[in-house]
């Protein structure tokens, strides 16, 4: 970097030249921004009422990165009541649920908008709830934001020809270098809101950034403070992290700094084990590779269920590790233990029941394929595999294929050929049978009619018996199914 000229080197006009260069740089940045028309419309309304309006935070960051953004975020010197008056009659819809925190939500045509009064909050250090205080200028507002790349703003007040870039904390330089730093000291920022620590990992995942050294030090020192945050808020950030472009980097950061112990302690616990293939330093590394490989097999965008299942599929191994007489290490039934552990962890993180059920079922089924040796799949085994997977079958295919991380090319190819064979068998049976909706040949009403009974446990037992026959032997046809039902009833139902 070229040294700055000293005062004695500065001739007449040097300061003016520096200011002119700075303005030129600001203008170049503003020209990079694709500011939506709706933002200039809104700025005009604020200017006409004597207020300033800034596009701020993630909206500016994403515009500079040419990334799609969600809501348009604005900040202003106008107080919340004035904001409501300004957007009244212009916005197609208005929400004031966040007005106690200075935020008014709105929608203009298809654009969601959030407008927040300058903030100068203070925190009590015991919770993440601030004492809300409104500020008077943009500089004070930006310093309270989480990261410097989110502490940039564009003053829109004076119209498209006079936009001004505001970057008091070096956000643009951090953006260019891919560095994640805080406007204020990271210890202060994370103490104000410990969720920002997990948000740092989320930005590593979403943007591929590298935390500054001082941020890393603060994360390691302050990770336990994440316990102040509710499980729901932690889950929301963790899900965004998992769905990012670089989730492995973020998870490694969480493990290295101790954040993972507060969110998913089962993940760092896998560092203690060596996987049975002896090809990875530990099960932890293997699981990260499986997750990356599963991501590579996604076809319809990021899949939270698949990614969580890939990350957690082996968390039962530490609890099931056994050393066999021949010296090998085994993890018998780790899929069963792992499914139970997964359910407990995801429940504690307040994931929706549907997500929990799907992830746990994938963890439980991920070894089923390997239980059939070299691929001697009977029709019965194929039916059970498809039925147990149900609507998760395609995800299960991707998970099982991703779980092959051996460096032995011959073994890897053999496993893939074996799974190809299974998928071929599934396709063949699908042509012959209603494989995705296997049911007994007789429904409950017909069972009750033939047995002369009403609803009750006997009907359920008869149904399960016929379903088991259907799994083992394929379609029976009505006549044979009725015969089988009568024979079962004769042995199992008194009278």
Is 172 found in the same domain as 62?
Answer: yes
318 and 232 housed in the same domain? no
Torsion of CA 234, 236, 238, 243, to 10 degrees: 180
Of 88-102, 352-366, 380-394, which range is least confident? 380-394
Pair (134, 226) in one structural domain: no
d(CA 94, CA 326) in angstroms, rounded, equals 70
pLDDT-based confidence at residue 432 (cuts at 50, 70, 90): low
Is 194 a domain residue? yes
Q: List the beta bridge partners of residue 329.
A: 323
Last residue of a domain, one of 388, 413, 436: 436
Lowest mean pLDDT among 37-41, 208-212, 444-448: 444-448
Q: Give 233-254 pLDDT, tens digit per residue.
A: 999 999 999 999 999 999 999 9
pLDDT digits (tens, 9 = 90+) for 11-21: 445 656 655 65
64 & 117 share domain: yes
Query: Domain holding 60: CATH number?
Result: 3.30.460.10
> What is the β-pairing status of strands 53-56 and 72-76?
antiparallel
**pLDDT above 60 (res 436):** no
The length of the chain is: 495
Residue 196 belongs to a domain:
yes
Higher pLDDT, 29 or 341: 341
What is the total count of domains within the chain? 4
**Residue 459 domain-assigned (yes or no):** yes
Q: Are 30 and 100 members of one domain? A: yes
The answer to whether residue 418 is domain-embedded is yes
What is the Cα–Cα distance from 461 to 466, expressed in whole angstroms? 9
Query: Is 60 exceeded by the pLDDT of residue 448?
Result: yes
Nearest to 399 by CA among 342, 318, 467: 342
In the block, tokens 């980097």 appear at 249
Q: What angle do CA 227, 145, 226 make, to 5 degrees?
A: 5
Distance CA 29, CA 25 (A): 6
From 177, 200, 223, give the residue that closes a domain.
177
Task: Among 121, 143, 177, identify where a domain stops.
Answer: 177
In a domain, 83, yes or no: yes
**pLDDT digits over 453-462, tens only?**
888 888 888 8
Token representation of residue 88: 């009244």
State pLDDT tens for residues 363-388: 999 998 876 655 567 778 888 888 88
Find the helix packing angle between 80-87 and 37-48, rounded to 10°: 120
Q: Which domain CATH number covers 238?
A: 1.10.110.30
| Within-domain flag for 289 | no
Question: Mapping DSSP to helix (H, G, I), strand (E, B) and coil, where does residue 166 land?
Answer: strand
Q: What is the pLDDT of residue 425?
A: 80
Looking at the structure, do residues 30 and 155 belong to the same domain, yes or no? yes
pLDDT at 407 over 90: no
219 with 353, same domain: the answer is no
Asked whether the beta carbons of 53 and 41 are under 8 A apart, the reply is: no
- Return the higher-pLDDT residue of 495 and 205: 205
For the segment 260-319, what is each residue's pLDDT rounded down to a tens digit?
999 999 999 999 655 555 544 589 999 999 999 999 999 999 999 999 999 999 999 999
- Stated as kind and residue range, the H or E segment containing 197 is helix 195-207
* Shared-domain flag, residues 27 and 150: yes
Is residue 80 within 8 Å of 63, Cβ to Cβ? no
Q: Is residue 382 part of a domain?
A: yes
Average pLDDT over residues 339-366: 97
Residues 126, 204, single domain; the answer is no
- Determine the Cα–Cα distance for residues 176 and 230; give it in Å rounded to an integer: 34
**pLDDT tens digits, residue range 164-175?**
999 999 999 999
Q: What is the pLDDT, as a whole number, of residue 400?
A: 93
Band of residue 495 on the pLDDT scale cut at 50, 70, 90: low
In a domain, 97, yes or no: yes
Distance between CA atoms of residues 264 and 137, nearest Å: 40
412, 444: one domain: no
Whether residue 66 sits in one domain with residue 38: yes
Per-residue model confidence (pLDDT) at position 372: 60
By CB neighbour count within 10 A (0-12 exposed, 13-18 middle, 19+ buried), where does 329 fall? middle
What is the Cα 200 distance to its own chain's centre?
14
Q: Which domain holds residue 199?
A: 184-263
Largest separation between any pair of C-alpha atoms in the chain: 113
pLDDT of residue 70: 74
**Same domain flag for 425 and 445:** no
The DSSP-derived string for 329-359 is: EE-TTHHHHHHHHHHHHHHHTT--HHHHHHH
């Amino acid at each position: 970097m070229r040294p700055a000229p000293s005062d004695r080197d500065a001739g007449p006009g040097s300061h003016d030249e520096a200011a002119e260069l700075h303005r030129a740089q600001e203008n170049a940045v503003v020209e990079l921004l694709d500011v939506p028309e709706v933002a200039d419309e809104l700025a005009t309304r604020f200017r006409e009422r004597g207020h300033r309006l800034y596009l701020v935070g993630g909206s500016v960051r994403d515009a500079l990165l040419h990334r799609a953004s969600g809501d348009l975020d604005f900040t202003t010197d106008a107080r919340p009541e004035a904001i409501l008056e300004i957007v009244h009659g212009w916005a197609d819809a208005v929400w004031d649920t966040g007005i106690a925190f200075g935020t008014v939500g709105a929608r203009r045509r298809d654009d969601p908008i959030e407008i927040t009064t300058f903030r100068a909050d203070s925190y009590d250090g015991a919770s993440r709830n601030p004492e809300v205080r409104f500020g008077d200028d943009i500089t004070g507002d930006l310093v309270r934001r989480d990261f410097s790349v989110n502490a940039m703003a564009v003053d829109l007040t004076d119209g498209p020809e006079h936009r001004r870039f505001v970057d008091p904390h070096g956000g643009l330089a951090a953006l260019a270098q891919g560095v994640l730093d805080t406007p204020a000291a990271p210890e202060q920022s994370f103490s104000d809101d410990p969720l920002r620590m997990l948000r740092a990992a989320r930005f590593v995942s979403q943007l591929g950034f590298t935390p500054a050294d001082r941020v890393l030090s603060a994360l390691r020192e302050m990770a336990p403070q994440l316990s102040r945050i509710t499980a729901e808020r932690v889950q929301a950030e963790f899900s965004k992290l998992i769905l990012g472009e670089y989730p492995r980097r973020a998870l490694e950061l969480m493990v290295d700094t101790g954040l993972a112990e507060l969110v998913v302690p089962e993940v760092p616990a896998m560092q203690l084990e060596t996987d049975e293939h002896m090809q990875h330093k530990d099960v932890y590394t293997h699981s990260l590779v499986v997750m990356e490989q599963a991501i590579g097999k996604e076809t319809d965008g990021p899949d939270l269920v698949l990614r969580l299942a890939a990350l957690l599929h082996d968390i039962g191994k530490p609890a099931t590790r056994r050393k066999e007489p021949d010296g090998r290490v085994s993890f018998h039934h780790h899929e069963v233990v792992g499914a139970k552990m997964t359910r407990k962890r995801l429940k504690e993180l307040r994931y929706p029941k549907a997500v929990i059920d799907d992830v746990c079922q994938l963890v439980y089924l991920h070894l089923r394929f390997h239980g059939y040796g070299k691929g001697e799949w009977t029709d019965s085994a194929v039916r059970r595999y498809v039925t147990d997977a149900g609507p998760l079958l395609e995800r299960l295919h991707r998970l099982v294929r991703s779980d092959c991380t051996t460096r032995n090319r011959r073994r890897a190819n053999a496993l893939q050929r074996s799974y190809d064979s299974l998928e071929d068998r599934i396709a063949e049976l699908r042509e012959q049978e209603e494989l995705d909706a296997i049911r007994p040949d007789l429904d409950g009403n017909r069972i009750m009619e033939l047995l002369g009974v009403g609803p009750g446990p006997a009907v359920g037992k008869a149904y399960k018996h016929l379903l088991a026959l259907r799994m083992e032997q394929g379609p029976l046809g009505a006549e044979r199914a009725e015969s089988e039902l009568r024979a079962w009833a004769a042995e199992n139902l008194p009278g």
